[in-house]
Structure 1
Protein backbone atom coordinates (compact mmCIF):
# COMPACT_ATOMS: atom_id res chain seq x y z
CA UNK A 1 0.00 0.00 0.00
CA UNK A 2 1.09 3.56 -0.73
CA UNK A 3 0.09 6.90 0.78
CA UNK A 4 1.03 10.01 -1.18
CA UNK A 5 1.08 13.61 -0.07
CA UNK A 6 0.40 16.40 -2.53
CA UNK A 7 3.29 18.72 -1.65
CA UNK A 8 2.02 21.51 -3.87
CA UNK A 9 -1.27 21.68 -1.99
CA UNK A 10 0.08 20.89 1.49
CA UNK A 11 2.93 23.41 1.32
CA UNK A 12 1.08 26.13 -0.60
CA UNK A 13 0.93 27.95 2.73
CA UNK A 14 4.03 27.89 4.90
CA UNK A 15 4.24 25.01 7.35
CA UNK A 16 6.41 24.66 10.40
CA UNK A 17 8.76 21.65 10.48
CA UNK A 18 7.32 20.27 13.73
CA UNK A 19 3.73 20.62 12.49
CA UNK A 20 4.73 18.78 9.31
CA UNK A 21 6.31 15.99 11.39
CA UNK A 22 3.19 15.81 13.57
CA UNK A 23 1.00 15.45 10.48
CA UNK A 24 3.28 12.77 9.03
CA UNK A 25 3.26 10.89 12.35
CA UNK A 26 -0.56 10.89 12.34
CA UNK A 27 -0.62 9.61 8.76
CA UNK A 28 1.88 6.85 9.53
CA UNK A 29 0.03 5.82 12.70
CA UNK A 30 -3.36 5.75 10.99
CA UNK A 31 -2.29 3.67 8.01
CA UNK A 32 -0.05 1.31 9.98
CA UNK A 33 -3.10 0.37 12.04
CA UNK A 34 -5.56 0.35 9.16
CA UNK A 35 -3.37 -1.79 6.88
CA UNK A 36 -1.55 -3.73 9.62
CA UNK A 37 1.82 -2.51 8.34
CA UNK A 38 5.00 -2.93 10.38
CA UNK A 39 7.62 -1.40 8.08
CA UNK A 40 7.45 2.09 6.61
CA UNK A 41 9.35 3.44 3.61
CA UNK A 42 9.50 7.23 3.34
CA UNK A 43 10.25 8.66 -0.10
CA UNK A 44 10.77 12.30 -0.95
CA UNK A 45 11.30 13.65 -4.44
CA UNK A 46 12.72 17.11 -5.14
CA UNK A 47 10.87 19.48 -2.76
CA UNK A 48 9.75 16.44 -0.76
CA UNK A 49 13.32 15.15 -0.52
CA UNK A 50 14.46 18.52 0.75
CA UNK A 51 12.01 18.62 3.67
CA UNK A 52 11.97 14.92 4.53
CA UNK A 53 15.23 14.71 6.55
CA UNK A 54 14.23 17.37 9.10
CA UNK A 55 10.66 16.08 9.16
CA UNK A 56 11.91 12.54 9.85
CA UNK A 57 14.18 13.80 12.66
CA UNK A 58 11.20 15.50 14.31
CA UNK A 59 8.99 12.40 14.30
CA UNK A 60 8.33 10.79 17.68
CA UNK A 61 10.90 8.07 18.43
CA UNK A 62 8.21 5.35 18.37
CA UNK A 63 7.23 6.41 14.85
CA UNK A 64 10.85 6.56 13.65
CA UNK A 65 11.49 2.99 14.80
CA UNK A 66 8.99 1.72 12.21
CA UNK A 67 10.75 3.49 9.34
CA UNK A 68 13.00 1.03 7.52
CA UNK A 69 14.19 3.29 4.71
CA UNK A 70 14.30 6.98 3.82
CA UNK A 71 14.71 7.48 0.09
CA UNK A 72 15.65 10.94 -1.15
CA UNK A 73 15.44 11.61 -4.88
CA UNK A 74 16.72 14.77 -6.58
CA UNK A 75 17.86 16.26 -3.27
CA UNK A 76 19.08 19.86 -3.21
CA UNK A 77 21.06 21.88 -0.68
CA UNK A 78 18.06 24.08 0.20
CA UNK A 79 14.88 23.25 2.09
CA UNK A 80 11.74 25.35 2.33
CA UNK A 81 8.46 24.52 4.06
CA UNK A 82 6.49 26.61 1.58
CA UNK A 83 6.09 26.20 -2.16
CA UNK A 84 7.20 29.16 -4.23
CA UNK A 85 5.90 29.49 -7.76
CA UNK A 86 9.42 30.14 -9.03
CA UNK A 87 10.75 27.11 -7.18
CA UNK A 88 7.94 24.98 -8.57
CA UNK A 89 8.97 26.09 -12.04
CA UNK A 90 12.56 25.02 -11.41
CA UNK A 91 14.18 28.15 -9.99
CA UNK A 92 16.14 27.95 -6.75
CA UNK A 93 14.11 28.33 -3.55
CA UNK A 94 14.96 30.57 -0.63
CA UNK A 95 16.37 27.76 1.49
CA UNK A 96 14.85 29.26 4.63
CA UNK A 97 14.91 25.85 6.36
CA UNK A 98 18.61 25.33 5.70
CA UNK A 99 20.58 22.59 3.99
CA UNK A 100 18.96 19.13 4.20
CA UNK A 101 22.43 17.57 4.34
CA UNK A 102 22.79 18.98 7.87
CA UNK A 103 19.62 17.14 8.92
CA UNK A 104 20.68 13.94 7.14
CA UNK A 105 23.78 13.79 9.33
CA UNK A 106 21.48 13.07 12.31
CA UNK A 107 19.89 10.02 10.61
CA UNK A 108 21.36 6.53 10.79
CA UNK A 109 23.14 6.28 7.41
CA UNK A 110 22.05 2.66 7.01
CA UNK A 111 18.45 3.90 6.61
CA UNK A 112 19.12 6.47 3.90
CA UNK A 113 19.18 6.04 0.14
CA UNK A 114 19.87 9.05 -2.08
CA UNK A 115 19.19 8.89 -5.82
CA UNK A 116 20.17 11.54 -8.32
CA UNK A 117 20.30 12.09 -12.06
CA UNK A 118 23.81 12.25 -13.50
CA UNK A 119 22.91 15.39 -15.47
CA UNK A 120 22.01 17.31 -12.30
CA UNK A 121 24.84 19.69 -11.44
CA UNK A 122 23.75 20.83 -7.99
CA UNK A 123 22.27 17.65 -6.50
CA UNK A 124 23.26 17.05 -2.87
CA UNK A 125 23.44 13.23 -3.10
CA UNK A 126 27.12 12.97 -4.12
CA UNK A 127 28.10 14.87 -0.95
CA UNK A 128 26.52 12.10 1.15
CA UNK A 129 28.84 9.29 0.03
CA UNK A 130 31.38 10.18 2.70
CA UNK A 131 28.67 9.70 5.37
CA UNK A 132 28.17 6.05 4.44
CA UNK A 133 24.82 6.68 2.81
CA UNK A 134 23.73 4.61 -0.18
CA UNK A 135 24.07 6.99 -3.13
CA UNK A 136 22.81 5.92 -6.54
CA UNK A 137 23.47 7.79 -9.77
CA UNK A 138 20.93 7.20 -12.54
CA UNK A 139 21.41 8.41 -16.08
CA UNK A 140 19.39 11.51 -16.80
CA UNK A 141 18.35 14.73 -15.20
CA UNK A 142 15.81 15.76 -12.60
CA UNK A 143 13.26 13.25 -13.92
CA UNK A 144 15.75 10.39 -14.42
CA UNK A 145 15.00 10.30 -18.17
CA UNK A 146 11.53 9.00 -17.31
CA UNK A 147 12.79 5.49 -16.51
CA UNK A 148 10.51 5.10 -13.51
CA UNK A 149 10.54 1.30 -13.60
CA UNK A 150 14.31 1.25 -13.06
CA UNK A 151 13.96 3.89 -10.36
CA UNK A 152 11.27 1.88 -8.60
CA UNK A 153 13.38 -1.27 -8.80
CA UNK A 154 16.34 0.52 -7.14
CA UNK A 155 14.15 1.73 -4.28
CA UNK A 156 12.44 -1.60 -3.69
CA UNK A 157 15.63 -3.65 -4.01
CA UNK A 158 17.22 -1.52 -1.29
CA UNK A 159 14.15 -1.93 0.90
CA UNK A 160 14.20 -5.71 0.40
CA UNK A 161 17.86 -5.79 1.48
CA UNK A 162 17.13 -3.73 4.59
CA UNK A 163 14.14 -5.87 5.56
CA UNK A 164 16.12 -9.09 5.06
CA UNK A 165 18.97 -7.75 7.19
CA UNK A 166 16.53 -6.84 9.98
CA UNK A 167 15.24 -10.42 10.32
Structure 2
Protein backbone atom coordinates (compact mmCIF):
# COMPACT_ATOMS: atom_id res chain seq x y z
CA UNK A 1 0.00 0.00 0.00
CA UNK A 2 0.89 3.66 -0.09
CA UNK A 3 -0.10 4.51 3.47
CA UNK A 4 3.20 6.28 4.11
CA UNK A 5 2.91 8.36 0.93
CA UNK A 6 1.43 11.72 0.08
CA UNK A 7 1.07 13.40 -3.29
CA UNK A 8 1.91 16.95 -4.35
CA UNK A 9 -0.01 17.77 -7.52
CA UNK A 10 0.96 20.80 -9.63
CA UNK A 11 -1.94 21.79 -11.88
CA UNK A 12 -2.02 23.06 -15.44
CA UNK A 13 -2.90 26.55 -16.65
CA UNK A 14 -6.59 25.83 -16.17
CA UNK A 15 -5.99 26.06 -12.44
CA UNK A 16 -7.61 23.40 -10.28
CA UNK A 17 -9.68 21.85 -13.08
CA UNK A 18 -11.56 18.57 -13.57
CA UNK A 19 -8.45 16.59 -14.48
CA UNK A 20 -6.58 17.72 -11.36
CA UNK A 21 -9.58 17.18 -9.06
CA UNK A 22 -10.51 13.76 -10.40
CA UNK A 23 -6.98 12.32 -10.40
CA UNK A 24 -6.50 13.69 -6.87
CA UNK A 25 -9.71 12.01 -5.73
CA UNK A 26 -8.59 8.60 -7.07
CA UNK A 27 -5.23 8.97 -5.32
CA UNK A 28 -6.84 10.11 -2.05
CA UNK A 29 -9.30 7.18 -2.17
CA UNK A 30 -6.25 4.90 -2.38
CA UNK A 31 -4.93 6.36 0.86
CA UNK A 32 -2.63 9.04 -0.52
CA UNK A 33 -3.69 12.53 0.51
CA UNK A 34 -3.05 15.22 -2.10
CA UNK A 35 -1.64 18.71 -1.60
CA UNK A 36 -2.32 20.84 -4.66
CA UNK A 37 -0.36 23.72 -6.13
CA UNK A 38 -2.56 25.77 -8.45
CA UNK A 39 -0.17 26.68 -11.26
CA UNK A 40 -2.51 29.30 -12.68
CA UNK A 41 -2.49 31.34 -9.46
CA UNK A 42 1.09 30.55 -8.56
CA UNK A 43 2.74 31.40 -11.89
CA UNK A 44 0.61 34.53 -12.34
CA UNK A 45 3.57 36.05 -10.48
CA UNK A 46 6.90 35.56 -12.20
CA UNK A 47 8.97 32.85 -10.52
CA UNK A 48 12.41 31.42 -11.08
CA UNK A 49 13.11 27.68 -10.97
CA UNK A 50 14.96 28.37 -7.70
CA UNK A 51 12.09 30.15 -5.94
CA UNK A 52 9.61 27.58 -7.23
CA UNK A 53 11.86 24.78 -5.95
CA UNK A 54 12.08 26.35 -2.49
CA UNK A 55 8.31 26.64 -2.36
CA UNK A 56 7.99 22.98 -3.39
CA UNK A 57 10.43 22.02 -0.63
CA UNK A 58 8.31 23.94 1.89
CA UNK A 59 5.11 22.22 0.70
CA UNK A 60 6.71 18.75 0.84
CA UNK A 61 8.16 19.35 4.31
CA UNK A 62 4.95 20.83 5.72
CA UNK A 63 2.68 18.04 4.54
CA UNK A 64 5.03 15.13 5.32
CA UNK A 65 5.06 16.53 8.84
CA UNK A 66 1.35 17.40 9.09
CA UNK A 67 0.10 14.13 7.60
CA UNK A 68 2.80 11.92 9.23
CA UNK A 69 4.02 10.51 5.93
CA UNK A 70 7.57 9.63 4.93
CA UNK A 71 7.44 9.60 1.12
CA UNK A 72 6.08 11.83 -1.59
CA UNK A 73 4.89 11.32 -5.15
CA UNK A 74 5.12 14.45 -7.31
CA UNK A 75 2.57 14.83 -10.10
CA UNK A 76 2.40 17.61 -12.67
CA UNK A 77 -0.14 18.18 -15.42
CA UNK A 78 0.56 20.33 -18.50
CA UNK A 79 2.44 23.41 -17.25
CA UNK A 80 2.71 21.60 -13.92
CA UNK A 81 4.57 18.80 -15.71
CA UNK A 82 6.77 21.35 -17.48
CA UNK A 83 7.86 23.12 -14.30
CA UNK A 84 8.24 20.12 -12.00
CA UNK A 85 11.56 18.70 -13.30
CA UNK A 86 13.42 22.00 -12.80
CA UNK A 87 11.82 22.40 -9.36
CA UNK A 88 12.80 18.85 -8.34
CA UNK A 89 16.36 19.04 -9.70
CA UNK A 90 16.97 22.03 -7.40
CA UNK A 91 15.65 20.37 -4.24
CA UNK A 92 18.14 19.54 -1.49
CA UNK A 93 19.43 15.94 -1.68
CA UNK A 94 17.73 15.07 1.60
CA UNK A 95 14.32 16.05 0.23
CA UNK A 96 14.95 14.22 -3.04
CA UNK A 97 15.55 10.94 -1.20
CA UNK A 98 11.92 11.10 -0.01
CA UNK A 99 10.54 11.18 -3.56
CA UNK A 100 9.00 7.82 -4.40
CA UNK A 101 8.00 8.68 -7.94
CA UNK A 102 7.52 11.57 -10.35
CA UNK A 103 4.57 11.66 -12.74
CA UNK A 104 4.57 13.99 -15.75
CA UNK A 105 1.24 14.28 -17.55
CA UNK A 106 1.59 15.83 -21.01
CA UNK A 107 4.86 17.72 -20.55
CA UNK A 108 6.13 20.07 -23.31
CA UNK A 109 9.72 20.54 -24.51
CA UNK A 110 10.04 24.09 -23.07
CA UNK A 111 8.70 25.96 -20.06
CA UNK A 112 8.45 29.50 -18.73
CA UNK A 113 8.07 30.09 -15.01
CA UNK A 114 5.48 32.77 -15.59
CA UNK A 115 1.97 32.61 -16.97
CA UNK A 116 0.96 34.94 -19.82
CA UNK A 117 -2.67 35.19 -20.89
CA UNK A 118 -1.37 34.78 -24.45
CA UNK A 119 -0.22 31.26 -23.47
CA UNK A 120 -3.86 30.22 -23.71
CA UNK A 121 -3.92 31.37 -27.34
CA UNK A 122 -0.70 30.16 -28.85
CA UNK A 123 2.15 27.83 -28.12
CA UNK A 124 5.40 29.62 -27.51
CA UNK A 125 8.81 28.11 -27.93
CA UNK A 126 10.38 30.47 -25.46
CA UNK A 127 11.68 29.30 -22.15
CA UNK A 128 13.82 26.71 -20.45
CA UNK A 129 14.25 23.32 -22.16
CA UNK A 130 12.62 20.68 -19.97
CA UNK A 131 14.55 17.57 -21.11
CA UNK A 132 17.91 18.52 -19.50
CA UNK A 133 16.03 19.07 -16.22
CA UNK A 134 14.47 15.60 -16.47
CA UNK A 135 17.92 14.14 -17.21
CA UNK A 136 19.20 15.62 -13.93
CA UNK A 137 16.63 13.49 -12.10
CA UNK A 138 18.05 10.14 -13.26
CA UNK A 139 17.74 7.43 -12.03
CA UNK A 140 14.50 8.62 -10.41
CA UNK A 141 11.35 6.62 -11.03
CA UNK A 142 9.47 8.76 -13.59
CA UNK A 143 6.17 8.07 -15.34
CA UNK A 144 5.54 10.19 -18.45
CA UNK A 145 2.02 9.99 -19.89
CA UNK A 146 0.88 11.70 -23.08
CA UNK A 147 -1.97 11.62 -25.57
CA UNK A 148 -1.24 10.04 -28.96
CA UNK A 149 -2.31 13.19 -30.81
CA UNK A 150 -0.29 15.45 -28.51
CA UNK A 151 2.52 15.86 -31.03
CA UNK A 152 4.41 18.42 -28.95
CA UNK A 153 4.80 16.15 -25.94
CA UNK A 154 8.24 15.67 -24.45
CA UNK A 155 7.48 12.07 -23.37
CA UNK A 156 8.79 10.20 -26.46
CA UNK A 157 12.16 11.96 -26.13
CA UNK A 158 12.56 10.57 -22.59
CA UNK A 159 12.15 6.88 -23.47
CA UNK A 160 15.86 6.10 -23.35
CA UNK A 161 16.40 7.57 -19.87
CA UNK A 162 16.89 4.92 -17.15
CA UNK A 163 13.97 4.90 -14.71
CA UNK A 164 11.56 6.58 -17.14
CA UNK A 165 8.39 4.77 -18.16
CA UNK A 166 6.50 6.33 -21.09
CA UNK A 167 2.83 5.56 -21.69
CA UNK A 168 0.82 6.82 -24.65
CA UNK A 169 -2.94 7.10 -24.22
CA UNK A 170 -5.72 7.75 -26.71
CA UNK A 171 -6.64 11.37 -27.25
CA UNK A 172 -4.75 14.62 -27.06
CA UNK A 173 -3.55 16.82 -24.23
CA UNK A 174 -6.65 16.27 -22.08
CA UNK A 175 -6.60 12.47 -22.50
CA UNK A 176 -10.23 12.41 -23.66
CA UNK A 177 -11.54 12.79 -20.13
CA UNK A 178 -10.41 9.39 -18.84
CA UNK A 179 -9.11 10.95 -15.66
CA UNK A 180 -10.01 8.18 -13.21
CA UNK A 181 -8.10 5.79 -15.46
CA UNK A 182 -5.09 8.13 -15.29
CA UNK A 183 -5.31 8.05 -11.51
CA UNK A 184 -5.32 4.25 -11.53
CA UNK A 185 -2.34 4.15 -13.91
CA UNK A 186 -0.41 6.38 -11.52
CA UNK A 187 -1.26 4.14 -8.55
CA UNK A 188 -0.19 1.01 -10.44
CA UNK A 189 3.06 2.61 -11.46
CA UNK A 190 4.13 3.78 -8.02
CA UNK A 191 3.50 0.50 -6.17
Could you state the TM-score of these two structures normalised by the residue count of structure 2? 0.80
Rounded Cα–Cα distance in structure 1 between residues aligned with 2:136 and 2:91: 13
Q: Secondary structure at the match of 1:51?
A: helix
Partner of 1:105: 135
Q: Any residues of structure 2 matched to 1:67-78 within 5 Å, and which?
A: 67-78=99-110
* Secondary structure, aligned partner of 1:76: coil
TM-aligned CA deviation for residue 61 of structure 1 = 0.9
Return structure 1 stretches of 4+ with deviation > 3 angstroms.
Answer: none
Aligned Cα root-mean-square deviation (Å): 1.1
Secondary structure in 2 matching 1:4: strand
Partner residue, 1:35: 67
Structure with more contact order per residue of length (Cα contacts < 8 Å, sep ≥ 6): 2
Q: Which is strand-richer, 1 or 2?
A: 2
CA distance in 1, matches of 2:150, 2:123: 13
- Equivalence map 1:2-17=2 (5 Å): 2-17=34-49
- How many pairs are equivalent? 158
Unaligned ranges ≥5, structure 2: 1-32
Shift of 1:102: 1.0
Q: Are the aligned partners of 1:80 and 1:93 in contact in 2 as well (CA < 8 Å)?
A: no
1:18 aligned to which of 33, 37, 50: 50
8 Å Cα contact 1:101-1:124 kept in structure 2:
yes
Decide whether aligned partners of structure 1 residues 136 and 80 sit closer, same or farther in structure 2, where only a CA change above 3 A counts: same
Shift of 1:16: 1.1
- Tell me what 1:149 maps to: 180
TM-score between both structures, scaled by the size of structure 1? 0.91
CA shift for structure 1 position 94: 4.8
In the aligned structure 1, how far is the partner of 2:121 from the partner of 2:147? 15
Matched, 1:159 2:190: yes
